[in-house]
Structure 1
Amino acid sequence: RTTRGHRFMSRGEIDIATADAYEPTLLAEGKVIPNFAERRANIERQLLAEAAKQGALLNEYADLLDEVAALVEHPTVYVGEFEAEFLAVPQECLILTMRANQKYFPLFDGAGKLLNRFLIVSNMQVADPSNIVAGNARVVRPRLSDARFFFEQDKKQKLEARLSRLAPVVYHNKLGSQLERVERLETLAGAIAAQLHGDVAAAKRAARLAKADLVTDMVGEFPELQGIMGRYYALADGEGEVVADAIQAHYQPRFAGDALPAGNVAAAVALADKLDALVGFFGIGMVPTGDKDPFALRRAALGVLRILIEAPLPLELPKLIDAAAAGFKPGLLTAEGFAAQLQDFMFERLKNLLRESGRDGAVIDAVLALRPARIDLVPAKLAAVEAFRALPEAEALAAANKRIVNILKKTEGTPGEPDIALLQEDAEKALFHEVVEVAPLVRSHVANEDYTDALCALAGLRAAVDQFFEDVMVMAEEPLTRANRIALLAQLAGLMNQVADISRLSA
């Protein structure tokens, strides 16, 4: 029942009368805020108040706040300062130094530019904090000096001159060096940029320099700055802004909700980087299993999907995978069927991504069942299926489509074209004529990417389809009649399932 509180501010040994008295007693006599949530809220209030007093902003601070709240018992916020000359160093370096090494909260102006002031969360509340503030300023100065030294030294050698140093850096023992990877990225990024009618030369240049900052002193000290420092060094080398921006953006998106690379050049390099990793590791059989994903392939797959969908980019996923695979030396990618396995993996990621965005599971299954090559068209197809599903004819057509699919599964060989001369029943003749009449309209809508209009045009077939199944025996004894009716159903199924597998909407 006896405890101690704050190392310096407590009155000494503290008697705790009851369990209920623990927190208030420790706070009053031990100068410790025992509740984490209260301690965190207390720090946040002080940080925001002090930042406002300084006419500054904190920007992102939640993660650091959680960490600091676990380090102090009786938090008090003070303002520190460093020499303005350090602001000549890229602010990302200074921010990372202060946050990661010193647990300081940098301050920013309204435009997001770093100020030469920061907030210290001290574990001491004193009347005169000058010694605490001076001590922290004295500690941070060598850190900032190191960052400035790394930056100035790195600028003495151009990124292009650093490429040879990537040769001994192993990317993976089965996939070669970082330099070999850069050569693949250069080719692939150029090919993607060409498909996007972008600046091929800029894309190839950005891909060539994208990994050069890995062998700089700054990135060696702060790996989190890879790409970011590449951009600064590229600009210092006289590279164009498009190239420099693409060097930084090719890692994006780094996490869920992160910004996407802006522009076709940056998108091409980002896609090349992720596709090379996915194809390479799947090609040597290094596939994520369970919760094990040491090469962050799930993140890479989601990055590819988000870029294709949200940009959006009119690229075909199978062709992108083939183009990435073509960059590897013959005989290197030995895993059997890795391309199909990778596509399955990516469609599974896409299904999860769409579900998390609130899309209906049956609608997602209907669209992805056709494994669309153009991922950028998936949202429009989902919207079309949702609109079709709301029609009164949808349920009956989905059920009929499911019945047709089951019939076709049991059929040997590939059905031919229906022969009008072999049509016997009025119901099959009526269905044939309606299919012939609506087919050009549906195909035109699909070709123009008007998927909602395409599916809605099919709604007019409901009566003819219902009557067909009511009056016609598909599996007739006479072989030619049976084959002709199966051919008619195959034509109908092909028409109905151009946008999505409508049978998936049937309960």
Structure 2
Amino acid sequence: MKKTDNLLVELLVEELPPKALNSLGQAFADTLFEQLRTQGLATPESSPTAYASPRRLAAHVTALLAQAPDQAVSHKLMPVSVGLDANGNPTPALHKKLQALGCDASAVGQLRRAGEGKAQALFLDTQVRGATLAEGLQKALSEALARLPIPKVMTYQLADGWTDVKFVRPAHALVALYGSEVVPVRALGLAAGDTTQGHRFEAASRTVRIRHADAYAEVLAGEGAVIASFAARRADIVRQLAEAAAVVGGGARPIDDPALLDEVTALVERPNVLACSFEPDFLQVPQECLILTMKANQKYFPLLDAAGRLTNRFLVVSNIRPEDPSAVVEGNERVVRPRLADAKFFFEQDRKKPLSARVDGLARVVYHNKLGTQGERSQRVRQLAQVIGAQLGDDHLARQADLAASLSKADLLTDMVGEFPELQGTMGRYYALADGLDAEIADAIEDHYRPRFAGDQLPRGRTGLVVALADKLETLAGLFAIGQLPSGDKDPFALRRHALGVVRMLMERDLPLSPSELVVEAVGLFPQAPPETASLLSDFIYERLAGLLREQGYSAQETEAVLALKPGRLGEVARRLAAVRAFAALPEAPTLAAANKRIANILRKAEEPVQPQVDEALLCEPAERELHAQTLRIARQANAQFDAGDYTASLQTLAALRQPVDAFFDGVMVNAQDAALRRNRLGLLSVLHGAMNRVADLSRLAT
């Protein structure tokens, strides 16, 4: 058994981009380990651990071999007829091939033949020496650095003043230890050693020596004042935030924001949470404004009370731990005050003008160079909202939706949204309430952007639901009309998200609205739309629905069977899927699905359009008379159950058709010579096909 030991690799750099730090650290460790394993240096016990702090990327890998085992390699050279002449002597082509592999003429005697006849070929079996750890690590390190998901590459010069290096940030030191031994590798113009640097201000000494690969985290924490693990540092911040909030009291809790927590974790090497405060007068400003300015600009954690309202206290994650933190606290309080004052100023200035006074200004804001201004867009949303409102309710809902739609984009022209675009809609709601509009309209102005992301809440009220549908459908129809469809993983206008939002609203609120009919209304607002636009957009929406259903655990067959009919009311889809699943479990299901597929093929191949009509006088075979009688009887019961919304019972009732369907295909020639008989039998199949496929297209269940 070859010797194994643990490996540590660390790259010391200048401050890394915080939003990318965790992914950079994980990618560095994973790629390094993958490359070492590929070269045979890993063992079954090997595993990587990633480290990432603002100034370092590191990986610790356990149980690596000092040298990979030798490998037997078989080289297929060429066909025997090419490598040997008629007398069995090597040809020039064979000599040339052997030379390319580093072998001389003596290797001819080591060749073996494999295969038979013309397929017989010459093979050379060799032993390839396994890579040493230094060789393997050099290759793995180069590959790990090349594959890093770097958001933006920098170019800098090495100390010689001539050599350019491209990397995410300038690198200053490289550590590579196999146990306690330095591995002689190089990267980014640096030679590996065993020394690094700790915290810029709080390390015990400027240079920190790592004596063993396994001591890395412990030495950095002790001598370097650095928590090297991203996960450990994050957990420490979470603990300190909770403890600091408990000291503040009153049920205070820090705002829950995983993205902010990750970013702050990437900004500090030795976190120290401190409680700060600001003047209570600022709480007159909508809390979303204050929270956003503290999070986005200062990376602070606002504190909420037990009811979820913002308090005038906030938490700061400092990177230093002075004995007297008062200067740090006062400094952060001093810095945040102007930010909050700006928010208060914007809010007060915006309230001097009602939302309605800003609507005309939207005509001067370009939405898209092919789709006009925000003002024109608002008019289209209003038209669509009135149509949807009338379909869902009455004239009152249509009027409410029209008013909310007309004001929905007005807050884009406010100072607050100009400073914080994330607050669009939210500020519109506050300003609408300040203007004296009722809560239904104000909520609709905020909610018309919902759902903004997967899992987001739907609009609260009916008016908001109408305007949200209109807004998303107008966006989809407009961009489809000018050919801006998503392609592959590129979706710059988030059209997949908009379509999924439409699907969720129609489905989860069980709205009596057909997606295809809504699409026709929306596309009709764009005269430049090509004729196929409505069909393409309708298919796009149903594809998003199919993807959502598969994520919820429905099979591709079940989903295709239900959506093949493009059901007009999406709130029924779940019940249809449940019915299909129950039907598929019946013993009759496979036979009926196969028969259904056969019927569909027969009807599709008919020479002329088939009418679902049957002339009983032309039913001459017992099997077709029986099928007709059973279809009428069973379809009557199944249709009644379908109309009552009991889709499961409707499909199970249809299972009784198995025997007469089997008998029909066994004993009746559909494509009879007599044209009248042929048309009648095709009509019978058409009636049967229509009866069987009201809940779903059962042919999609055929294997």
TM-score bracket for the superposition, by shorter chain length: over 0.9
Query: Among 479, 489, 492, which residue is 2:688 paired with?
Result: 492
Query: Among 340, 343, 356, which residue is 2:538 paired with?
Result: 343
Secondary structure of the structure 2 residue equivalent to 1:332: coil
The 5 Å alignment of 1:102-141 reads 102-141=298-337
Query: Among 259, 269, 275, which residue is 1:79 paired with?
Result: 275
Deviations 1:147-190 (A, max 9, x none): 00000000000110001111110111111100011111112112
- Look up the match of 1:479: 675
Cα distance in structure 2, aligned partners of 1:89 and 1:306: 33
Count how many residue pairs are aligned between Structure 1 and Structure 2: 504
Query: Among 279, 285, 288, which residue is 2:483 paired with?
Result: 285
**Correspondence 1:451 to 2:451:** no
Deviations 1:305-358 (A, max 9, x none): 000000121101122112222333xx332x340110111111111110110111
Contact persistence 2:255–2:301 (CA under 8 A): no
**Correspondence 1:236 to 2:236:** no
**Correspondence 1:436 to 2:632:** yes
Counterpart amino acid of 1:375? L
Cα distance in structure 2, aligned partners of 1:376 and 1:184: 27
Offset, 1:216: 0.3
Counterpart amino acid of 1:183? Q
Counterpart amino acid of 1:83? E
Cα distance in structure 2, aligned partners of 1:383 and 1:413: 36
Counterpart amino acid of 1:222? F
Query: Among 364, 371, 380, which residue is 2:559 paired with?
Result: 364
- Look up the match of 2:65: none
Offset, 1:422: 1.1
Query: Among 392, 396, 418, which residue is 2:614 paired with?
Result: 418
Query: Among 22, 27, 42, which residue is 2:221 paired with?
Result: 27
Which deviates more from structure 2 when the two are superposed, residues 497-506 or residues 316-325?
316-325
Counterpart amino acid of 2:428? G
Offset, 1:191: 1.4
Deviations 1:397-440 (A, max 9, x none): 11111111111121122223121111122111111001111222
Cα distance in structure 2, aligned partners of 1:262 and 1:73: 43
Offset, 1:21: 2.2
Offset, 1:442: 2.3
Contact persistence 1:298–1:349 (CA under 8 A): yes
Counterpart amino acid of 1:37? A
Offset, 1:19: 2.5
- Look up the match of 1:2: 195
- Look up the match of 2:599: 404
Cα distance in structure 1, aligned partners of 2:433 and 2:239: 40
Which deviates more from structure 2 when the two are superposed, residues 343-352 or residues 138-147?
343-352
Counterpart amino acid of 1:126? P
Offset, 1:64: 0.7
Offset, 1:496: 0.3
- Look up the match of 1:16: 210
Deviations 1:258-294 (A, max 9, x none): 0001222111000000000001111111111111111
Contact persistence 1:230–1:244 (CA under 8 A): yes
Offset, 1:222: 0.1
- Look up the match of 1:90: 286
Secondary structure of the structure 2 residue equivalent to 1:20: helix
Deviations 1:196-250 (A, max 9, x none): 1152211111000000000000000000000000000000011110000000000
Secondary structure of the structure 2 residue equivalent to 1:107: strand
Secondary structure of the structure 2 residue equivalent to 1:371: coil
Query: Among 361, 364, 369, which residue is 1:168 paired with?
Result: 364
Counterpart amino acid of 2:481? G
Contact persistence 2:443–2:461 (CA under 8 A): no
Contact persistence 2:274–2:316 (CA under 8 A): yes
Counterpart amino acid of 2:502? V
Offset, 1:93: 0.3
Query: Among 408, 412, 424, which residue is 1:214 paired with?
Result: 412
Contact persistence 2:472–2:499 (CA under 8 A): yes
Query: Among 179, 186, 193, which residue is 2:382 paired with?
Result: 186
Q: Which runs of 5+ in 1 are unaligned?
A: none
Secondary structure of the structure 2 residue equivalent to 1:30: coil
Q: Which runs of 5+ in 2 are unaligned?
A: 1-193
Query: Among 519, 527, 533, which residue is 1:321 paired with?
Result: 519
Contact persistence 1:175–1:332 (CA under 8 A): no
Secondary structure of the structure 1 residue equivalent to 2:254: coil
Select the structure of larger CA radius of gyration.
Answer: 2
Deviations 1:424-462 (A, max 9, x none): 221111110011112222222323322222212211111
Contact persistence 1:370–1:501 (CA under 8 A): yes
Counterpart amino acid of 1:345? F
Offset, 1:111: 1.2
Cα distance in structure 2, aligned partners of 1:150 and 1:345: 41
Query: Among 565, 573, 592, which residue is 1:378 paired with?
Result: 573
- Look up the match of 2:547: 352
CA RMSD of aligned residues (A): 1.3
- Look up the match of 2:190: none
- Look up the match of 1:49: 243
Which deviates more from structure 2 when the two are superposed, residues 16-25 or residues 167-176?
16-25
- Look up the match of 1:276: 474
Offset, 1:65: 0.7
Higher RCO (Cα < 8 Å, 6 or more apart): 1
- Identity, in percent, stands at 56
Secondary structure of the structure 2 residue equivalent to 1:167: helix
- Look up the match of 1:266: 464
Secondary structure of the structure 1 residue equivalent to 2:576: helix
Cα distance in structure 1, aligned partners of 2:645 and 2:515: 18
Offset, 1:467: 1.4
Counterpart amino acid of 2:237? I
Contact persistence 2:254–2:315 (CA under 8 A): no
**Correspondence 1:177 to 2:373:** yes
Cα distance in structure 1, aligned partners of 2:540 and 2:456: 22
Cα distance in structure 2, aligned partners of 1:451 and 1:52: 54
Query: Among 202, 207, 227, which residue is 2:400 paired with?
Result: 202
User: TM-score w.r.t. structure 1 length?
Assistant: 0.97
| Structure with higher strand content | 2
Offset, 1:477: 2.5
Counterpart amino acid of 1:27? A
Offset, 1:122: 0.5
Cα distance in structure 2, aligned partners of 1:312 and 1:415: 35
- Look up the match of 2:582: 387
Query: Among 484, 492, 496, which residue is 1:298 paired with?
Result: 496
Cα distance in structure 1, aligned partners of 2:262 and 2:322: 24
Cα distance in structure 1, aligned partners of 2:676 and 2:438: 69
Counterpart amino acid of 2:212? T
Cα distance in structure 2, aligned partners of 1:143 and 1:421: 88
User: TM-score w.r.t. structure 2 length?
Assistant: 0.70
Contact persistence 2:561–2:701 (CA under 8 A): yes
Counterpart amino acid of 2:480? F
- 4+ runs of 1 displaced by more than 4 Å? none
Secondary structure of the structure 2 residue equivalent to 1:21: helix
Secondary structure of the structure 2 residue equivalent to 1:295: coil
Which deviates more from structure 2 when the two are superposed, residues 7-16 or residues 264-273?
7-16
Offset, 1:16: 1.8
- Look up the match of 1:309: 507
Cα distance in structure 1, aligned partners of 2:624 and 2:528: 55
Contact persistence 1:167–1:180 (CA under 8 A): yes
Counterpart amino acid of 1:194? A
Cα distance in structure 2, aligned partners of 1:354 and 1:97: 38
The 5 Å alignment of 1:458-473 reads 458-473=654-669
Secondary structure of the structure 2 residue equivalent to 1:427: helix
Counterpart amino acid of 2:660? A
Contact persistence 1:435–1:461 (CA under 8 A): yes
